[in-house]
Structure 1
Amino acid sequence: MKFAFIGAGSLQFTTSCMRDLLTFEAFKDAEFALMDTNAENLKNITHVCEKIAEVMECPRVKITPTTDRIEALKGADGVLCTVFNGDVDIWRHEIEIPKKYGVDINVGDTRSVSGIFRALRNIPLMLYICADIEKYCPNAVFLNYTNPMAMLCGAMQKHSNVEVTGLCHSVQGTVKMLAEWLEIPKEEIVYKCMGVNHQAFYTVLKHKGKDLYPLLREKLKDEEFYNKEIVRNEMFLKLGYYVTESSGHNSEYNQWFRKRPDLIEKYCTHGTNWNPGEYAFSLNLRLDRKANTKKQYDEFLEKGIDKEKSIEYAANIFNARLGDGKPFVFNGNVLNHGSIPNLPYDACVEVPVVADFMGFKTTIAGNLPEHLAILVNTTARIENLVVEAAMKKSKEMVYEAVYMDPLSSAVLSLDEIRNMCDEIFEKNVDYLGDYK
């Protein structure tokens, strides 16, 4: 087997996914083609992956570093993508320019105005990668970890012939968090999660047949637990269902928490999990990571390599598709096609999916509760519009998408939104070219 890691310098995902793959018998003599455009990062991640193969006692593993995407993809059975087109130097403008207009973004990688422009930069790159897969490894299984997940996967699923789905650890990560809060083994929790990436809700959350939501409501009367995830906990207490992804992310995706400084202070500043109110923390963190990349790799090795599988889905999916064929159920990003009837038919949704030798089978998740469907429909329709805007290179469609963004529209007039977008377009000209 051959696995191509595109954007292999991503320490978190490359190391966890390679180690996880090596826990399966089918992949203990696989080739790992590590591709990254940054030669220094490539050198560092290659060294780390060699250590992983050693610790996992897989001497037959072949590790092939390259800066050439085509070389990495030739003959690959599986492809895993963690690219980021634009890096922090461009991304920062999509935080700082909205901030100047009063739109206070926290993370800026999934939706609202910053996520929209990140999608516009990355959709062409993802489609280039898909074109290379179609040419050099047409039967490969492609797993994407790059954000904004729904818009990128939607574009690839609509405009390529590649077998691709997108993965995020927020679904299983949130279950793990809630299990710890409620002091229940996570393996004993039964759940159904549905919606769109980073805005999916647990419509079922049970332990031994008993609904866990009443117990969670009681737990959140304790300020220690309420303060861990203030935005998400507030959403749960008012909307009745728990949402995936962190409070920092979710504070951007609606009109309730970041439209005024007093609301940012109340809901977005004092959480005890990673939940900074000011984007400057996020920006400085990313700049620090960029400046101290070698240090991160060294610290990873100093901690020692854990042989246990992570919570990531990728290795289990590859095993189901390419290994022993044991079916695996995961929350994947796929075209809706009726899985959630009260969301757009052609939206990219995050729902339970079954992987096996035959491919990916999307389950029928059912309707979202109607009030949640209103919120998620807004998100899904904006994301569909952004994909269309990217394909047509339509500046007007981009304006229209940001006009409808809940956070931007809660703060700005239509003219102000248009002016804000024009400034961001200017900073992205080398990546976007001539939008009309």
Structure 2
Amino acid sequence: MSFKIAIIGAGSVGFTKKLFTDILCVPEFRDVEFALTDLSEHNLGMIKAILDRIVEANGLPTKVTATTDRRKALEGARYVISCVRVGGLEAYADDIRIPLKYGIDQCVGDTICAGGILYGQRNIPVILDFCKDIREVAATGAKFLNYANPMAMNTWAAIEYGKVDTVGLCHGVQHGAEQIAAVLGAKSPKELDYVCSGINHQTWFIDLRLNGRKVGKDELVAAFEAHPVYSQQEKLRIDVLKRFGVYSTESNGHLSEYLPWYRKRPDEITRWIDMSDWIHGETGGYLRYSTETRNWFETEYPQFLEAASKPLDPTKRSNEHASHILEALETNRVYRGHFNVKNNGVITNLPQDAIIESPGFVDRFGINMAAGITLPEACAATCMASINVQRMSVHAAISGDIDLLKLAVLHDPLVGAVSTPEEVWQMVDEMVVAQAAWLTQYAHAVPAAKERLSKSQVKTREWAGAARRNVRSIEELRAEKAALKQAG
């Protein structure tokens, strides 16, 4: 088979390499062309060199091109994959830093909450530019696979306003299933069959079967509480499991941001999180991790390039959905996964226009969702709070309405649990001014926001958060890796 796959944001080097090697694990895809595009020529050069090395080492006819000209990369593409981070780490740092001044302590800040909403404001205009290019220069009927966060907002905008065939992809469901299989003592995650449904980062394991045997709440709670690692790392998730009756896909740190109960008091935060890794709730944890990863990759690049000379191993193909979707669409080998699409009746007790994440099957006829799923009421209520924020956020990003943006932030569950309306209004002004370079739809609102900030009486504080760790140096990372290797 010969067709073209364009990857936007290909400078996300590690993730692009994973997608590339996964796709090439499909024998029929040896002749595929990969067109890489990114704003950073430096990152493009690094990833192209790695992928070229993989192609050469495996004697493949695969073609790899790289360009900063996005439209050129998209010309004739049958599939377009996006893994962009608009504003990079510079804007992301403000997503964490500024809300902290108002008492809002986020672990990740890329889905909802103050940081995720502003992230969406930066992303959505760019996503619509991608969609315009796809409509105009990609292959007829091209499919857009969005990996970029905030997943629901980006996918909502691409479907509703971009008018492109779009599916949002995430790996939270797979990771959650692996955890459940481990605590239940399964020899392989394949022994676990499950139905997981909800919205991205708030998806719920509403049916669990281990080797055909149904697993109930009490058994699952006991298994997690008895596990020597997860009982400490997932305290908040286990508490939600006890109260809701079902387990959430999302990590301890991520889930804590979407609920109004666990991160609203600084002295309570440390009770529910675990500092063994960023993903369990550390303040600004993903920002620290992303910064360290970037620095590490830049320094250790020769080793990454050398590792690319190894033969491809199909047994190490990851569980990221993209390669499996392409394989199903192109070869008709059926794939079952969890996909982010417009609801349209798939989940009976969520709004029709919402972007939901739920089971579906893929074959040559496309992605076919399993319809008629009803969530437990508490799960639906929690999802609804986020959906209302997402909807307002998308509409604000499209219209450039700063008042609607402030209302979206005000209705965010964690923000509402921590901040007053006056604080929210000032915080949004401050974030829009700080990120004006990436928020062109709000250019008309920036002067007035600056004027309001100059006269504001709302008090803020410089606060690192309840559980902040410093970014580690390359030397510290090397020492830690060496210690772990020696211990292992």
Alignment partners' CA distance in 2, 1:129 and 1:234: 41
Alignment partners' CA distance in 2, 1:129 and 1:39: 19
1:239 paired with 2:244, answer: yes
C-alpha contact 1:98 1:104 (8 A) present in aligned 2: yes
> CA distance change for structure 1 residues 208 and 282 in 2, over 3 Å: closer, same or farther?
closer
> CA distance change for structure 1 residues 435 and 115 in 2, over 3 Å: closer, same or farther?
farther
C-alpha contact 2:340 2:356 (8 A) present in aligned 1: yes
Task: Give secondary structure in 2 for the equivalent of 1:251.
Answer: helix
C-alpha contact 1:255 1:410 (8 A) present in aligned 2: yes
Q: Highest CA radius of gyration, 1 or 2? A: 2
1:212 paired with 2:200, answer: no
Per-residue CA distance 1:391-429 (angstroms, 9 max, x = gap): 111111111111111111111111111111111111121
Task: Give secondary structure in 2 for the equivalent of 1:85.
Answer: coil
Task: Give secondary structure in 2 for the equivalent of 1:147.
Answer: coil
Alignment partners' CA distance in 2, 1:183 and 1:53: 39
Measured on the aligned residues, the alpha-carbon RMSD in Å equals 1.8
Which residue number in structure 1 is paired with residue 231 of structure 2? 226
Deviation at 1:355, TM superposition (A): 2.1
Q: Summarize the alignment of residues 348-427 of structure 1 with structure 2, pairs less than 5 Å apart.
A: 348-427=355-434
Q: Summarize the alignment of residues 204-353 of structure 1 with structure 2, pairs less than 5 Å apart.
A: 204-213=207-216, 214-222=218-226, 224=228, 225-270=230-275, 274-279=279-284, 281-295=285-299, 297-301=301-305, 307=313, 308-321=316-329, 323-353=330-360
The code of the aligned residue for 2:248 comes to V
Per-residue CA distance 1:362-413 (angstroms, 9 max, x = gap): 2214111111111111111111111111111111111111111111111111
The code of the aligned residue for 2:435 comes to N
Alignment partners' CA distance in 2, 1:43 and 1:398: 37
Moved more, 89-98 or 7-16: 7-16
Per-residue CA distance 1:13-38 (angstroms, 9 max, x = gap): 21111111112122111111111211
Per-residue CA distance 1:168-227 (angstroms, 9 max, x = gap): 011112111221222212112111111110001010111123223433222223262311
Q: Summarize the alignment of residues 102-141 of structure 1 with structure 2, pairs less than 5 Å apart.
A: 102-137=103-138, 138-141=140-143
Which residue number in structure 1 is paired with residue 175 of structure 2? 173
C-alpha contact 1:35 1:69 (8 A) present in aligned 2: yes
Task: Give secondary structure in 2 for the equivalent of 1:259.
Answer: coil
Alignment partners' CA distance in 2, 1:110 and 1:300: 30
Alignment partners' CA distance in 1, 2:91 and 2:278: 27
Q: Which runs of 5+ in 1 are unaligned?
A: none
> CA distance change for structure 1 residues 193 and 296 in 2, over 3 Å: closer, same or farther?
farther
> CA distance change for structure 1 residues 237 and 109 in 2, over 3 Å: closer, same or farther?
same
Task: Give secondary structure in 2 for the equivalent of 1:92.
Answer: helix
C-alpha contact 2:254 2:281 (8 A) present in aligned 1: no
Task: Give secondary structure in 2 for the equivalent of 1:386.
Answer: helix
Within the candidate set 44, 47, 60, 1:45 is matched to 47
Count of matched residue pairs: 433
The code of the aligned residue for 1:140 comes to A
Alignment partners' CA distance in 2, 1:144 and 1:18: 15
C-alpha contact 1:41 1:293 (8 A) present in aligned 2: no
C-alpha contact 1:130 1:162 (8 A) present in aligned 2: yes
The code of the aligned residue for 1:48 comes to I
> CA distance change for structure 1 residues 273 and 89 in 2, over 3 Å: closer, same or farther?
closer
The code of the aligned residue for 1:219 comes to A
Which residue number in structure 2 is paired with residue 192 of structure 1? 195
Task: Give secondary structure in 2 for the equivalent of 1:59.
Answer: coil
C-alpha contact 1:126 1:156 (8 A) present in aligned 2: yes
Deviation at 1:282, TM superposition (A): 3.4
C-alpha contact 1:22 1:58 (8 A) present in aligned 2: no
> CA distance change for structure 1 residues 115 and 183 in 2, over 3 Å: closer, same or farther?
same
C-alpha contact 1:394 1:435 (8 A) present in aligned 2: no
TM-score, normalised with respect to structure 2: 0.85
Deviation at 1:327, TM superposition (A): 2.4
C-alpha contact 1:29 1:58 (8 A) present in aligned 2: no
1:4 paired with 2:6, answer: yes
C-alpha contact 1:194 1:200 (8 A) present in aligned 2: yes
C-alpha contact 2:99 2:427 (8 A) present in aligned 1: yes
Alignment partners' CA distance in 2, 1:133 and 1:240: 43
Alignment partners' CA distance in 1, 2:234 and 2:25: 33
TM-score, normalised with respect to structure 1: 0.95
Moved more, 98-107 or 326-335: 326-335
Deviation at 1:302, TM superposition (A): 5.2
Alignment partners' CA distance in 1, 2:236 and 2:8: 34
Alignment partners' CA distance in 1, 2:347 and 2:281: 33
Deviation at 1:272, TM superposition (A): 6.0
Within the candidate set 428, 433, 436, 1:429 is matched to 436
C-alpha contact 1:343 1:373 (8 A) present in aligned 2: yes
Per-residue CA distance 1:331-390 (angstroms, 9 max, x = gap): 111001111111111001111122222222222141111111111111111111111111
Alignment partners' CA distance in 2, 1:83 and 1:394: 24
Moved more, 218-227 or 195-204: 218-227
Moved more, 285-294 or 196-205: 285-294
Deviation at 1:53, TM superposition (A): 2.3
Alignment partners' CA distance in 2, 1:19 and 1:58: 14
Alignment partners' CA distance in 2, 1:273 and 1:7: 24
Alignment partners' CA distance in 2, 1:166 and 1:296: 32
Q: Percent identity?
A: 34
Q: Which runs of 5+ in 2 are unaligned?
A: 446-488
Alignment partners' CA distance in 2, 1:3 and 1:230: 41
C-alpha contact 2:221 2:238 (8 A) present in aligned 1: no
Deviation at 1:292, TM superposition (A): 4.1
Alignment partners' CA distance in 2, 1:151 and 1:172: 21
1:36 paired with 2:38, answer: yes
Alignment partners' CA distance in 1, 2:199 and 2:142: 25
C-alpha contact 1:48 1:297 (8 A) present in aligned 2: no
